[in-house]
Structure 1
Amino acid sequence: MKKDENAFSFEAAEESPGFLLWQVTSLWQREIRKALEKYDLTHSQFVLLASIMWLSQQQEPVTQILLSAHSKIDPMTTSTVLRTLQTKGLLERKEHATDTRAKTVVLTETGIKTTKQAIKIVEKFDAEFFEPLGAKVNEFNKKLRLLLGQ
């Protein structure tokens, strides 16, 4: 292919890593949405619930800011999703023990039960979805972390 300032640098769209990532992400998101339907959860809701569970196990109070940083979901979206989850009875927001501006987030009993069930479904789905990578899944994860700057 002759290099032209207005032309793409790839011979085919399928050679573009961004396009491939978009295709895989779209497929993965569509299927994960189906997997979470029975729990009446969006993927963002699931990510925040699972993150609350994970961070709670680390023996630290889970604040909205910590949750936003951990999940890489912006603070405003995190706040909106947390309100929805609170309305669903899956979590409670409480006053922080030492920071009057902050709220801590804790799962309710229903939230814990729902999150544990959803985690099993998501882990099963992920195992099936990424199965074609076989033993290369760890290398794939390593490259994804590299893109995240980790």
Structure 2
Amino acid sequence: MTHHPDESPGFLLWQVTLGWQREMTATLAPLDLTHVQFVLLATTWWLNSQGEEPNQLTVARRAATDIKMTSQVVRKLEDKGLVERRVDPADTRARRLRVTERGAEVARAAVEAVEAADAEFFRRVPDPAALLRILRPLAAPPDETTP
């Protein structure tokens, strides 16, 4: 049986995701950040604010990004003067991350801009709390105990 595309959750999610990504790109462009740069900068900034100086693997896991891509993007953030990478004294192969003063300013502004853009984008959703309840299990990593 063939279903109409509007009855396909995957197709609708794809359309919503593309629209949301366009909004994020437009929102972050004035701050000279790509979306992935924003996610990694904001994640590092948040972890720093919790008293952590995470390594790149910790940031990648928290942001659910590929570790190699994370390393490349963090280098770009370092080139922009937004993040400092320091050798981890416990493991000289690892790099600890700290957002610079300028990086914290950019992160703060970017988080505010993204939150405002999210509010505007999702304003048509009648029950935002219900949407979060639906999305959380889909965003969680698969249960490794499930076959």
Q: TM-score, normalised by structure 1?
A: 0.89
C-alpha displacement of 1:144: 1.0
C-alpha displacement of 1:14: 1.1
User: Which digits, 9 at most, give the CA deviation of each residue in 1:3-46, with x for residues without a partner?
Assistant: 4xxxx4x2x01111111010000000011100111011000000
**Over aligned residue pairs, what C-alpha RMSD do you find?**
1.3
- Residue 107 (structure 2) aligns with: 115
Aligned-partner Cα distance in 2 for 1:24–1:64? 30
Unaligned runs of 5+ in 2: 142-147
Counterpart contact for 2:48–2:99, Cα < 8 Å = no
Aligned-partner Cα distance in 2 for 1:47–1:40? 13
Aligned-partner Cα distance in 2 for 1:23–1:50? 25
C-alpha displacement of 1:92: 0.7
Instruction: Find the partner of 2:48 among 56, 69, 72.
Output: 56
User: Which digits, 9 at most, give the CA deviation of each residue in 1:91-146, with x for residues without a partner?
Assistant: 11001132222110111111111111111110111111111124x21121121111
Instruction: Find the partner of 2:134 among 122, 138, 143.
Output: 143
Number of equivalent positions: 141
Identity of aligned residues (%): 43
Which amino acid is 1:137 matched to? Answer: P
- Residue 13 (structure 1) aligns with: 5
Aligned-partner Cα distance in 2 for 1:77–1:149? 20
- Residue 37 (structure 1) aligns with: 29
C-alpha displacement of 1:53: 1.0
Q: TM-score, normalised by structure 2?
A: 0.91
Unaligned runs of 5+ in 1: none
Provide the secondary structure at the position in 1 that maps to 2:33: coil
- Residue 105 (structure 1) aligns with: 97
Aligned-partner Cα distance in 1 for 2:18–2:91? 40
- Residue 128 (structure 1) aligns with: 120
Provide the secondary structure at the position in 2 that maps to 1:101: strand
Higher-Rg structure is 1
Aligned-partner Cα distance in 1 for 2:133–2:69? 27
